[in-house]
Amino acid sequence: MREGIKRMPKESLTNFTSTGEKLLCWLDTLSIMQKTHLPTPINLQISPTNKCNLNCSFCSVANRDKKLEIPFHHLLAFVQNMCTMNTLKAVEITGGGEPTLYPQIEQLIQWLDSQGFSIGLITNGLELTDNIERKYLDLLSWIRISTNTLQDRGRIQIPRFKKGKGPLLGFSYVYSEITEDTYKFFAELEYLAKKNKASYIRIVPNCLMDINNLEEKIKPLKAIYQESFLFQDKRPRRPNYCYLAYVKPYLYTDGWVYPCNSVSLFQGSNREFPEDTRIFHMSQAAEWTETPFKTVCLMPSEHLACQQCRFARQNELLYNILKNDFIHKEHI
Ligand code: SF4
Q: Considering only CA atoms, which residue is closest to atom 6 of ligand 1? A: 260
Residue 267 Cα, ligand 1 centroid: separation in angstroms? 15
Measured CA to CA in angstroms, residue 208 lies from 36, 95, 309, 315 at distances of 37, 18, 11, 21
Q: How does residue 48 score in pLDDT terms, banded at 50, 70 and 90?
A: very high
List, chain by chain if needed, residues with CB within 6 Å of any ligand 1 atom. 239, 242, 244, 259-260, 262-263, 299, 301, 305-306, 309, 311, 315
Helix, strand and coil content of the chain, in percent to the nearest 5, comes to 35, 15, 50
Is 35 within the bounds of a domain? yes
Nearest to 111 by CA among 102, 119, 103: 119
Neighbours of 53 (CB within 10 A): 15
Taking the C-alpha atoms of residue 257 and residue 280, their distance in angstroms, rounded to an integer, is 6
Peptide bond between residue 268 and the one before it cis (omega within 30 degrees of 0): no
Nearest to 229 by CA among 8, 2, 1: 8
The pLDDT value given to residue 149: 72
Question: pLDDT tens digits, residue range 164-199?
Answer: 788 999 999 988 888 888 999 899 899 888 888 898
**Strand positions, DSSP E, the chain:** 43-46, 90-93, 118-123, 142-146, 168-175, 200-205, 230-231, 250-251, 256-258, 280-281
Asked whether the beta carbons of 259 and 326 are under 8 A apart, the reply is no
DSSP code of residue 6: P
DSSP code of residue 49: B
The pLDDT value given to residue 4: 45
Q: Is the pLDDT of residue 261 over 60?
A: yes
Taking the C-alpha atoms of residue 302 and residue 271, their distance in angstroms, rounded to an integer, is 19
Residue 228 Cα, ligand 1 centroid: separation in angstroms? 30
Measured CA to CA in angstroms, residue 207 lies from 48, 109, 140, 210, 215 at distances of 24, 31, 29, 7, 11
Which pTM was predicted?
0.92
Q: Is the pLDDT of residue 7 over 80?
A: no
Edge-first strand order for the sheet with 43-46 is 230-231, 200-205, 168-175, 142-146, 118-123, 90-93, 43-46, 250-251, 256-258, 280-281
Is 1 within the bounds of a domain? no
Residue 263 Cα, ligand 1 centroid: separation in angstroms? 7
Is 72 within the bounds of a domain? yes
Residue 306 Cα, ligand 1 centroid: separation in angstroms? 5
Among 246, 299, 302, 309, name the best residue to mutate to test ligand 1's pocket (greatest count of ligand atoms within 8 A of Cβ).
309
Task: State in Å, rounded, how far the first CA of the chain is from the last one.
Answer: 40
Is 329 within the bounds of a domain? no
Is 5 within the bounds of a domain? no
Ligand 1: nearest atom to the Cα of 239: 3
Residue 270 Cα, ligand 1 centroid: separation in angstroms? 17
Ligand 1: nearest atom to the Cα of 238: 3
Q: How does residue 309 score in pLDDT terms, banded at 50, 70 and 90?
A: confident
Neighbours of 174 (CB within 10 A): 18
Q: What are φ and ψ of residue 257, in 5° steps?
A: -100, 130
Count of structural domains, the chain: 1
CATH for 283: 3.20.20
Q: Considering only CA atoms, which residue is closest to atom 2 of ligand 1? A: 306
30: containing domain: 12-321
Residue 308 Cα, ligand 1 centroid: separation in angstroms? 8
Is 49 within the bounds of a domain? yes
Is 330 within the bounds of a domain? no
Q: For the chain, give the percent of residues with pLDDT over 70.
A: 94
Q: How does residue 298 score in pLDDT terms, banded at 50, 70 and 90?
A: low
Residue 187 parent element (H or E): helix 180-195
Higher pLDDT, 71 or 155: 71
Residue 4 Cα, ligand 1 centroid: separation in angstroms? 36
Residue 309 Cα, ligand 1 centroid: separation in angstroms? 5
Q: How does residue 128 score in pLDDT terms, banded at 50, 70 and 90?
A: very high
Task: Name the CA radius of gyration of the chain, rounded.
Answer: 20
Is 155 within the bounds of a domain? yes
Ligand 1: nearest atom to the Cα of 314: 5
3-state secondary structure of 84: coil
